[in-house]
Structure 1
């Protein structure tokens, strides 16, 4: 793992590898966060790619130049924010294909809900901080479809944990976005 990350850091001041989810996780965790193809940096927001904080590295000079992670991101997103600032300051990020971390996910539905709620809370803050630099807004139609899908699938709450987990994860994420949109006065649903 470390060799793969160091190799990428030879040509770039920051890099990240893949998170492998299958090995350490059971069906409930994988239902909430299905494995994805791991051949590039993350691009969740359609803005700039970024490595996951659980599998990244960077040169100390970059850390010092940018002032580290923004600690005002109390609910997550601090890694995303850091790597976006790095790119906007002209620094290149690299994907390290041989730096693979076996990543353990939350396995219990309440823990999954807390984590996704926190993720949702960070998204409007990211939008507030980066909309002026090109981060696209969330689409109202997409949000409406997501809420409609949650409403239609509400009976999953009474089902087994592996059916509840993805429903609860998305509900928590959307609720976190709603709460944080009001707090930051930026609509990112």
Structure 2
């Protein structure tokens, strides 16, 4: 089992334990800079584990996919994020898309900003953008503003990812009369903060 599989192993271990209300095992082993339960390692290698009858079939399918004995067939983080159980009622703000600027599309807001700064008409700015003159001050200003927007959007995205552990505290468990339901927000936080929840860096 390669080191790249460890985050998935940690995630599926936590998901299985939370859903089945299993207690954490204390017998630990170091593996590629991560601490993983020896009991869990044996279960993963042997494919022997229990899944409670009360679990939804959708999450059961996800667990089985995550607990595949063959690491090459086991679900990846991307597989988990695309799974129907994970996607259901998934708040869009937890995974905001990075800012993706298409250079073939002219940003009208940025053009308006350049017009205001340089006191020129929008047609003049558009002509500058489409021109081959890389030293045109209007074109340079336009590109700088667009680049700053991209950097700001990327920084905001990173900040949201780093702060998801705060979101996690607001969405713990939904308690029913029969069982604990592992919420989408909890799994989301685990995906982002797996290392802080289960692993200890070397």
Indicate the TM-score class for this superposition, using the shorter chain for normalisation. under 0.3
Q: Which has the higher contact order (CA 8 A, sep 6+)?
A: 1
TM-score, normalised via structure 1 length: 0.22
Structure of larger gyration radius: 2
TM-score, normalised via structure 2 length: 0.21
